[in-house]
A and B are shown apart, each in its own frame.
Chain A
Amino acid sequence: MAIGNRKGVVIILVLALAATFLLIITALINLSCSEIIQAKNRNNSIQSYYVAVAGAERMYVRLKNIQATGGTITWPVNPSNLNNVALQIGGSTVGTFTVTSNLTGQTDEFAIISTGTANGRSSTVTVKYGYTDTYTNGVPIGSMGAMNFAGNKWWFLTSRVYADGPIESASNITPSTSHPNDSPYVQFNGDVTPNKSDLSNPSYWYKYDSATSSWSAKQVYDTNGNGQHLTDTTNKGYVDISDAGGDVDKIAIFQADDINSDGRIDTKDAFVSYYTVELNSQYNLGINKGGPNYYSGDHTFGPYNVPTGTSVIFVDGDANIIFNAQKWWGNKADLTVVSTSDITIVQPVNGADDRTTTIAYGDTITGGLNLGDLADVDGNLNMYSNGNFTAILGGNTNGSIMVGGITNVNTGLPSFLFNRDINQGTDDWSNPAKMPRGLPPGYPQVSKVFVIKAENFSTSGYKPRWQWR
């Protein structure tokens, strides 16, 4: 090769020029195409989002169907026919989705997770809902007599009544629906059933046999369960000394069955016997006459009055309760107050892990203020009244209310402080540890296998949370 032969320079120059040209062309094409690419990607992302939403809706409907048919759910819900499902519009496939559902780890919350894919782009939508599962509790509010709910409204100011259903009465319910047409001052959530023929008041004519550890029904008026009793000869609705007809033996039977010595044998004797004899004999509660948890006469209770650890007290008289009869902080509080007369509760309070149960042979009356979205009763308050139930002013409770007589729920002047919220109980009574103590046999209960919480129906409603990524 001759020195100075420079023919190779041309190739280098051509390649350099070509490379530079190529770079310029690349840059120009990228610039011109970038907007098109971005628009295309955005469209595909949005398309995949809607496909994912469709999948979430499909799963929601499936869960709702399980709820409607009373089925049970095994988590996670991961059905094969909701895996890689083609979503078609007008015969053409616009994308595919795969959707599952599982518990989130938060209390009473599950999530639906749906991934949609369209034109190679994927989006995942997560929706979280509240639910109750294998729920068994007392009827949220039931009454053998008529039920009256009255809110208050003045212009745009209200003091409303809100009640979770099912709301059941063996008589009339006023108003019979959310009143009127979902007006803000009486709201029902769930079924409202007046004139319910199979609703019955609990009975106390039961006997506990400690030898066999079993319960059996007593004959009415046979309070001590010894098989000997008088009959109501004149259809008075009770037995008194006149039914003995002057017979000495019958008078002795009468006196033995008149356990509260008030001159007549009626359901009050059965009530007293059920708690102070039968239930006490089963659980050794100290609520026998003269026992440590037996209170004679009317009593007013505050948070320190009943010692921690006491599960049931029996009051032979009126029980007036301010906040709670037992301190509810520091320990889990689970107290049942039984009264042969009336129970009055002022501003009932407890914490999320607590349970308060009141059982009155007479009437129950409660009232206070509704001080915030969170319940003043954060745990559960179950109230049974053989007589009437009255709620005045405002308040917010969770639990079951069952009434042998009439139910009257009123509010006060139009103010949020006088709102009355009666929410369903949160305990699952199918778990014996969460069953209130001392409720009479035959207390009406409701069971729901799986229920998605109401969506944002009220301040206490559940708000689903949507997330997209």
Chain B
Amino acid sequence: MIVIGFVVILVFLQVRSIFFPKPKQTPVPQNLSQPETEAPETSPIWSIEDIKNRPGGGESNRSEEKPVSLPEVYVKYPKEDTGNNIVESWEKVSPEEKAKVNEQLDKKIEEAKEELRVKPDSKNAKHILFISETMKKLCKSNFDYRLLESVPEDEGGLKKKGK
């Protein structure tokens, strides 16, 4: 009788657990100020402003090391400050696409020159020619734009007086 009693109790408990499961613990509300994908609070957190304000990191302390080319800008400064890395993006472009860019720029240059032959005062053609020729130079040099060449020598640049 004792054994039968035990078995009945056991079966009753099992059946209850099947049809009336113990409620799962209520989930703790998510801390939205620190999303799940973010690093834990102990991770170093920094901002551009912090970096600028650090001793030795601000603009005024950097005046002696002016970047002379665009690629150097992307190396020296954080992406948030420089924007998309044009040099890196251009390097990733396939030779076929680069050829297409050249073809397009040549076409624009030719069209603009043709228009200027007919209408020498066409400012629109002049501007398109300027954009297309400048882009062609930039692409040819892999966007290795020399930043100081348009800046006069007495202002710290590379432009000779009289040029």
Contact = CB atoms under 8 A, between A and B. Distances in A.
Given A22-B3, A122-B26, A342-B123, A417 B100 contact: yes
A124 B131 contact: no
Given A371-B89, A417-B93, A351 B35 contact: no
Contacts of A362: 123
A376 B24 contact: no
Interface residues of B, number: 71
A300 B150 contact: yes
A436 to B, nearest CB: 18
Interface string B73-102: 100110111111010011001000100110
Given A18-B3, A40-B18, A103-B32, A115 B27 contact: yes
B14 A351 contact: no
Contacts, number: 204
Interface residues of A, number: 81
A331 B150 contact: no
Given A104-B33, A415-B100, A121 B24 contact: yes
Contact of A371 (B77, B90, B130): B90
Given A22-B6, A122-B24, A124-B30, A33 B18 contact: yes
Contacts of B104: 393, 412-413, 415, 418
Given A124-B30, A376-B84, A412-B104, A25 B21 contact: no
A355 interface: no
A308 to B, nearest CB: 7
A369 interface: yes
A299 to B, nearest CB: 10
Contact of A330 (B21, B26, B81, B128): B81
A82 interface: no
B131 A329 contact: no
B23 A120 contact: yes
A99 to B, nearest CB: 11
A33 B147 contact: no
Contacts of A327: 147
Contact of A363 (B79, B93, B123, B132): B123
A351 B157 contact: no
A115 to B, nearest CB: 6
A29 B67 CA distance: 77
Interface in B121-163: 123-124, 127-128, 130-132, 134-135, 138-139, 145, 147-148, 150-151, 155-157
B108 interface: yes
B55 interface: no
A18 B83 contact: no
A44 to B, nearest CB: 7
A228 interface: no
B32 A365 contact: no
Nearest 9 pairs of A and B residues by beta carbon: A371-B89, A378-B83, A120-B23, A329-B77, A105-B33, A367-B131, A412-B104, A374-B84, A302-B150
Given A111-B35, A328-B83, 10 more contacts: A18-B3, A26-B10, A40-B21, A100-B29, A105-B33, A302-B151, A304-B156, A308-B59, A347-B86, A363-B127
Interface of B: 2-3, 6-7, 10-11, 14, 17-24, 26-27, 29-30, 32-36, 38, 48, 52, 59, 62, 66-67, 70, 73, 76-77, 79-84, 86, 89-90, 93, 97, 100-101, 103-105, 108, 123-124, 127-128, 130-132, 134-135, 138-139, 145, 147-148, 150-151, 155-157
